[in-house]
Amino acid sequence: MKTVIESQAKVILHLDMNSFFASVEQAHDPSLKGIAMAVAGNPKARKGILVTCSYEARSFGIYTTMTVGEAKRLCPDLIIVPPDFEKYRIASSAVFDLLRTFTDLVEPVSIDEAYIDITAIGGLTNAVNIALAMQQRLLQELDLPCSIGIAPNKFLAKTASDMKKPMGITILRKREIESILWPLPVIEMHGIGKSTEKKMNELGLYTIGDLAKTDEITIKSSFGKHGIRLHERANGIDHRFVDPEAAEERKSFGSSTTLPVDETDLDECLKVLKWLASKVAARLDTKQLAGTVVMIQIRTADWRNHSRSRTVLNPLYKEQDIYKEAADLFTRHWDGEPIRLLGITVSNVVMMNELHEQLSIYNFEKHAKEETMDTLLSQLEQKFGPGTVKRGMK
């Protein structure tokens, strides 16, 4: 049975670990503390991409998605270490376990962030002291820094946690929205990406205040239900509660099919998996969800069932990404036996509007290429005018 605080005077914390991967590496190797260091997917390659970097490195102008070569030019003494995602997952579990010693109302939403409802253990009167105690214990017991936002709802708490890093504690009240949030560009708002920003700009909505003051009919006609949620949050409204069982309760989304013949041809099997990936992606899209666990099901001609799964750091929702993981699992584990049934399931799902992506060995090159393309398009538009150059579509 869920524990839900019914009081209207909510006090929600959003805890966000600072430079999490880099901080975990520094905790494991104290010689990395206080220096410019970064985690990179391929530390030996000049074109390797930085997954994250320490705040000391950031003072040189170094940032995530920069290549190793570029970073080294800014800081020749920069120390590069390879990523160790198993180490980061262990550290993440320890963080959430520590938070649960304060209250059971802890909802992890990514590897390095969580919402905590402290309404029943002190409320606003004691909020700063509770946040400070959490922050200090994480630093003293796990050697990991964090920033914490304090607010009456999830959206404002998440916004507040970004306001002061590293090791910040920030309170954001509803009455401060107009002066603090409304002047910011819409892209600064959680839940708005580049494509949504572009559509909003086309409607004349450039700031969060513009979005907040626009009528709901206009927003809904252009962005649907997601637009209504964004409009509410721009006005400081967010009715979501902290659900400690959310991760365990989230459903799996899968699809399977019995093949017309017992199949032994790899290409034919991969065609089926691609079709199944499209069906799973469509179901995820309908619910606006993404998942971190991909599992394939194989039933052989003699009715023996086999399953193989993989956990990825960043939630998947696109057909091509789901297919890539499923196809790789299949080609690695299929021994050539005739196949009667194939299936794909994506589980451990999160809401798309809560999606928080950590760069990983699976996607840092993609991020670098996207950033380079965005920069090039921006430069061309400055020279030839807005809208004169567009991305190609397959």
Res. 200: pLDDT tops 90: yes
- Lowest-pLDDT range of 124-133, 311-320, 348-357: 348-357
Closest Cα partner for 22 from 68, 56, 71?
56
Report pLDDT for 391.
54
pLDDT range class, residue 362, cuts 50, 70, 90: very low
Q: Which residues pair with 351 in a beta bridge?
A: 289
Residue 5, pLDDT > 50, answer: no
Average pLDDT taken over every residue of the chain: 86
Mean pLDDT of 2-24: 80
| pLDDT average, residue stretch 207-228 | 92
Q: What is the pLDDT of residue 44?
A: 66
Q: Is the pLDDT of residue 249 over 80?
A: no
pLDDT for the residue 387: 53
**pLDDT band, very low/low/confident/very high, at 114 (cuts 50, 70, 90):** very high
For residues 225 and 161, the model is more confident at 161
Q: Which residue has the higher pLDDT, 38 or 390?
A: 38
Residues 10, 11, 14, CA angle at the centre, nearest 5°? 130
User: What pLDDT score does 230 carry?
Assistant: 94
Q: Residue 392 has what pLDDT?
A: 54
Catalytic, 113? Answer yes
Please tell me the pTM assigned to this model.
0.67
Confidence of residue 285 (pLDDT cuts 50, 70, 90): confident
Mean pLDDT of the 217-223 span: 91
**pLDDT for residue 233:** 95
Lowest-pLDDT range, 82-86, 253-257, 324-328, 360-364?
Answer: 360-364
pLDDT computed for residue 202 by the predictor: 94
Angle between helix 20-28 and 85-99 (nearest 10): 100
Choose between 3 and 339: higher pLDDT.
Answer: 339
CB 66 within 8 A of CB 47: no
Predicted local distance difference test score (pLDDT) of residue 361: 46
**Has 117 been labeled as part of a binding site?**
no
256 versus 365: which is more confidently predicted? 256
Helix axes 319-333, 266-287, angle to 10 degrees: 140
Q: Is 238 annotated as a binding residue?
A: no
**With bands split at pLDDT 50, 70 and 90, how would you rate the model's confidence at 371?**
very low
Determine contact, residues 157/177, Cβ cutoff 8 Å: no
Please state which of the ranges 62-66, 108-112, 248-252 shows the lowest mean pLDDT: 248-252
Arithmetic mean of pLDDT, 21-45: 90
Render pLDDT for 260-271 as a digit per residue (tens, 0 to 9). 889 999 999 999
Write down the pLDDT at residue 131: 97
pLDDT at site 9: 83
Read off the pLDDT band of 382 (50, 70, 90): low
Residue 390, pLDDT > 60, answer no
Read off the tokens for 290. 């993404």
What is the Cα–Cα distance from 49 to 365, expressed in whole angstroms?
6
**Beta-sheet pairing, 289-300 with 305-316:** antiparallel
**Catalytic-labelled residue, pool 113, 263, 325, 354:** 113
The predicted structure's pLDDT at residue 348 = 80
Task: Report whether 102 contacts 10 (CB < 8 A).
Answer: no
Residues contacting residue 186 through CB under 8 Å, at least 6 positions apart: 192, 196, 197, 200, 201, 205, 206, 207, 208, 210, 211
